Amino acid sequence: MLVPFLLTAAAPLPVQARRVVSLMPSYTEIIFELGAGKDLVGVSNFCNWPPAAAKIDKAGDYLRPNIEKIYSLKPDVVFAGAWADASSSKQLESMGVKVVSLPEEKNAADIFATVRLIAAELGRKREGEKLAGKLAGMMPAKLPDKPLKVYLEADTGGWTPGGNSFLSDAVRLAGGKNIFGGEKRGYFQASWEEVLLLDPEAVILLSGTEEEFLSRPMAKGLAAAKAGRIITGLDRDAFSRPGPRLFGEIKKLAAFLNVKK
Amino acid sequence: MSKNKFPVFIAVLAAACLFSLAAGPAGCSNLDIILNLRLPRTLAALAVGAGLGLAGALFQGVLKNPLSDPYILGTSSGATAAAVFCFLAGIERTSPVFFLSVFAGAFGATFLSYWLARLAGRLSDAALVLAGVAVSAFLSALVMLVLTSSGARSFSLFYFVLGGLYSVQPGVLAVSSLIIAAAGAVAMGRWRALDAMALGSENAYHLGIEPERERILFFTLACAATSAAVAIGGTIGFVGLMTPHIVRRLTGPSARGLVPAAALGGAAMLAAADAAGRSLFSPAEIPAGIVMALAGAPFFMWLLWKSSRGRN
């Protein structure tokens, strides 16, 4: 069982005619940006961008990869998140499939690292550098001295990112400050009372409506509501994936936050 | 309820309400937060807890089964499944169609469990619990299937299925409270029938009670209370199971005291559980459904152990 694994792990990938499986929407978007979209033979069930990705064979998702499907696609390399089921990647490796587990991105710098890792794996180092540079160039050059306090609700019902997340970093790069940035946990349900106490100056809703938000107890008294800074105009998929489109959304968010009232 | 026990329940309820009103990161000095945020939430917890406690007492009385409650019998799962389908169909949470569907889901699931358990002949505790578990598991799987394949809105629906009081709509709370109060009033008015049924169908019949008719009536009341509770807070388990057992030690077995005490006890229990859930791990909050399951599942095991010892 070990011999084929060692052989595949040691063999350099051929530059041409590569067969690639991506188990994360953000990896798929990065691979397309690197110009390697045509090498993708399998993507995750959630991969819907760019539109061409939706037409590629689905191979399960990062939590539950469809091992048989992936094997049948005969990939040269599978990109999986580090938090993907370790037994699945072992299983794939024992079947002779190369799995690259990329670490979870906790900030913008990690996203650039992922871009470079994928690019190197695909023999497109130069394209990787170019893409990372382009994305870094899209970030607002100067951060405000007094960033606005931002409450980011990713899912209705108080689900919000803590400080240890790329979402929190995205808010910072857009000129805001996540009110739960001091929390070590990644994603949690914040108590509404705590949100009221922290009194955010801007609210970002990635799901749900402004109307529902303002109907919550005392929501209309929040500084964000008074200033009219309830932001619902971000693209949910683009903002919540650590991929290339996040940087366009950061720019958009920076514009929302900078509106003087 | 004997007169000397009544103050005990009122005191416990008052203590739970005080805890619920006082607990939270803003402390006890912010009157705005207490009145506008914690008070509505406390009222919601009281209504849901009362509805579930009431339903538990009625189910346990009618079925003469100490292990029954709306969660175990599949009543809650039926109501939750119906509610989720309503959300996906875009039916407003305050519309009569929503309440009727949720009630129909609760009633259908309960009757299915009951019918399955009766197939084996004599209605046994084990058969009823097994049938309830089967019906609940199937409905939960159905809900999960629908949620995993329905896309964007599903996360907040998952949260509803978990059971909690994060967002309570005043309209839903008002209608549900009325339903629960009405079900409670009718049930309390018929405590004699419930007591007679505890003596067995035949004895009840000799006391001038029609067991089949009464069973359907009490099922209807319990399902109405459960579905109203689910409409507010989703699937919250174990309130209906635990409270009748706890309050029975004070009230004795007669439904006259037990039914109102179970409603008061359930209200107090859920108010306390919700307050604990939103203050212990601040700024994160733990849904009341999870707090109740943490406390209730061991209680259920203890009941099973006790009832198995009683039989041998």
Of the listed ranges A4-13, A53-62, B7-16, B154-163, the one predicted with least confidence = A4-13
Last residue of a domain, one of A112, A137, A162: A137
Question: Is A254 a domain residue?
Answer: yes
Residue A250 reports pLDDT greater than 90: yes
Task: Write out pLDDT tens, residues A155-213.
Answer: 888 899 999 899 999 999 999 999 999 998 888 889 999 999 999 999 999 988 899 89
Q: B155, A189: Cβ pair inside 8 Å? A: no
**Together in a domain, A7 and A54:** yes
Task: Write out pLDDT tens, residues A213-240.
Answer: 999 999 999 999 999 999 999 999 999 9
Burial class (CB in 10 A: 0-12, 13-18, 19+), A10: exposed
At residue B269, φ and ψ (nearest 5 deg) are -65, -45
Tell me the average pLDDT of chain B.
89
The answer to whether B31 faces chain A, any CB pair under 8 Å, is: no
Task: Write out pLDDT tens, residues B112-157.
Answer: 999 999 887 777 778 888 899 999 999 999 998 888 777 655 677 7
**Together in a domain, A127 and A43:** yes
Could you write out the DSSP letters of every residue in chain B? --TTTHHHHHHHHHHHHHHHHH-STTTT--HHHIIIIIHHHHHHHHHHHHHHHHHHHHHHHHHT-TT--TTTTTHHHHHHHHHHHHHHTT--TTSHHHHHHHHHHHHHHHHHHHHHHHHTSS--HHHHHHHHHHHHHHHHHHHHHHHHTS-TTHHHHHHHHH---SS--HHHHHHHHHHHHHHHHHHHHTHHHHHHHHT-HHHHHHTT--HHHHHHHHHHHHHHHHHHHHHHH----SHHHHHHHHHHHHH-S-HHHHHHHHHHHHHHHHHHHHHHHHHTTTTB---HHHHHHHHHHHHHHHHHHHHHHHH-
Chain B positions touching A191 (Cβ under 8 A) are 24-25, 278-279, 282-285
Q: How far is B263 from chain A (nearest CA, A)?
A: 27
Q: Total structural domains in chain A? A: 2
Q: How far is B138 from chain A (nearest CA, A)?
A: 22
**Together in a domain, A64 and A106:** yes
Q: B283, A218: Cβ pair inside 8 Å? A: no
**Together in a domain, A15 and A119:** yes
Q: How far is B35 from chain A (nearest CA, A)?
A: 10
The answer to whether B290 faces chain A, any CB pair under 8 Å, is: no
pLDDT value of residue A207? 86
Q: B284, A208: Cβ pair inside 8 Å? A: no
Strands A99-102 and A77-81: parallel
**Together in a domain, A114 and A214:** no
Q: Which two tokens stand for residue A86?
A: 């370790």
* CA-wise closest residue to B239 among B58, B50, B106, B59: B50
What is the pLDDT averaged over residues B17-44? 90
CB B179 within 8 A of CB B224: yes
* CA-wise closest residue to B172 among B91, B286, B285: B91
**Together in a domain, A38 and A164:** no
More confident: B106 or B309? B106
Size of interface A-B (CB pairs under 8 A): 71
Residue A96: DSSP 8-state: T
Spatial separation of the C-alpha atoms in residues A147 and A174, rounded to whole Å = 9
**Whether residue A25 has a cis bond before it, omega within 30° of 0:** no
The answer to whether B38 faces chain A, any CB pair under 8 Å, is: yes
pTM for the whole thing?
Answer: 0.84
Task: Write out pLDDT tens, residues B172-209.
Answer: 999 999 999 999 999 999 999 999 888 877 788 888 88
**Together in a domain, A112 and A234:** no
A204: β partners: A152, A231
Q: Which two tokens stand for residue B217?
A: 């009536």
Chain A interface mutation, best of B21, B43, B148, B156, highest count of A Cβ atoms under 10 Å: B156
**Together in a domain, A123 and A165:** no
Give the CATH number, domain containing residue A239: 3.40.50.1980
Question: Is A143 a domain residue?
Answer: no
pLDDT value of residue A83? 61
Tell me the average pLDDT of chain A.
88
**Together in a domain, A17 and A118:** yes
Question: Is A96 a domain residue?
Answer: yes
Of the listed ranges A67-76, A236-245, B120-129, B219-228, the one predicted with least confidence = B120-129
pLDDT value of residue A7? 44
Spatial separation of the C-alpha atoms in residues B233 and B80, rounded to whole Å = 10
Place of tokens 């309050």: B247
pLDDT value of residue B3? 55
Chain A interface mutation, best of B21, B33, B168, highest count of A Cβ atoms under 10 Å: B33
pLDDT band at B27 (very low <50, low <70, confident <90, very high): confident
Helices B239-251 and B288-311: crossing angle, nearest 10°? 60
Last residue of a domain, one of A78, A111, A137: A137
If one looks up domain B6-311 in CATH, what number appears? 1.10.3470.10
* Closest residue in A to B282 (Cα–Cα): A191
> Which domain covers residue A200, as residue numbers?
148-258
The answer to whether B22 faces chain A, any CB pair under 8 Å, is: no
Chain A positions touching B26 (Cβ under 8 A) are 193, 196-197
Question: Is A142 a domain residue?
Answer: no
Chain A positions touching B279 (Cβ under 8 A) are 191
**Together in a domain, A6 and A133:** yes
A189: β partners: A159
Residue A9 reports pLDDT greater than 80: no
Number of H helices, E strands in chain A: 12, 10
**Together in a domain, A124 and A201:** no
Last residue of a domain, one of A90, A117, A137: A137
**Together in a domain, A38 and A81:** yes
